[in-house]
Amino acid sequence: MSAKSSSTIVLGGHKHRYLDTGDSSKPMLLLLHGISCSLDFFEQTIPLLSRSFRVLAFDLLGFGGSAKPKKAPYSLNLYSSLIIEFLAKTRNNENEKTFAVGHSMGGKYLLSTALLYPDSFDKLVLSNTDGFIEQPGWVRGISLPGIKQVLKKVFSSKLVSSKVFNTAFHNPKRVNNVSYKKNLAVSRDKDAIETVMALNRNHKQLDFSKTGLRQQLDRLDIPVLILWGDHDLYISPSIARIVHNEIPGSELYIFKNCGHSPMLEYPESFSNKVVRFLLNDEQ
């Protein structure tokens, strides 16, 4: 998969890069990436998943090839509305079965969408999902105007960005070299780093607990699979148990010798887990 295979769609008045591949007669599967990433984070799994689904993915507002408005009112409500608009514009029909996979930040946005817009999804897969840890005060502090310009240069530098990116994997050498280089370049994008800082400043509107959505998880009445890596250094595997306990009837699987990004470290195993869970009542 390459940028040439992607298209552009307008959501919320902003251009978004997206991908639509696979058999259109098969169930729809939406993929949502995490922070400082793009849909390319799933590129090793998309060919595998497209055997069983019509696969769609888009770069979230502020990241990848999508628009990066500096003064957008970033919030869980905003991202959820963009996801719903994307589904409305790409669905073949209203009754089409719709599944979704969200990684890290993308997992939090999927949960928010499922709660704010009930009946939007038939099943969810959450990989190393965000939303269940408190953001430290210093993280918000580094996004203040007097500091952010310096840090933007630091985090976009090759040395620092490589070290931070490597932390996403238990063993970076397991990752396809082309995918590794492509996604590292995406993480170094200075405008996307600006978006991360804007998200930090808007933390109250993006916090799963402070918005009250986490307290509504008992309303979630769709099957959910939680995937994690046992060596996740971004979001501790201990959080996986918390997520599992808070989401009614959810299933949990933890990959061994894996970090924050199983879709890149173990693309075949990751894809197999997703397919079996989503289609287990249709095979």
The confidence score (pLDDT) of residue 96 equals 84
- Overall residue count recorded for the chain in this entry: 283
Between the CA of residue 59 and those of 49, 54, 102, 189, 224, what are the distances in Å?
18, 17, 12, 13, 23
Instruction: Confirm whether pTM is higher than 0.75.
Output: yes
C-alpha–C-alpha distance, residues 168 and 36, integer Å: 12
Assigned CATH for 3-279: 3.40.50.1820
Count of Cβ atoms closer than 10 Å to residue 97 Cβ? 14
Over residues 216-240, the pLDDT tens digits come to: 999 999 999 999 999 999 999 999 9
pLDDT < 50 regions, the chain = 1-4, 138, 283
Q: Sketch the domain layout of the chain as residue ranges.
A: 3-279
Over residues 202-214, the pLDDT tens digits come to: 999 999 999 999 9
C-alpha–C-alpha distance, residues 196 and 186, integer Å: 13
Is residue 106 within 8 Å of 33, Cβ to Cβ? yes
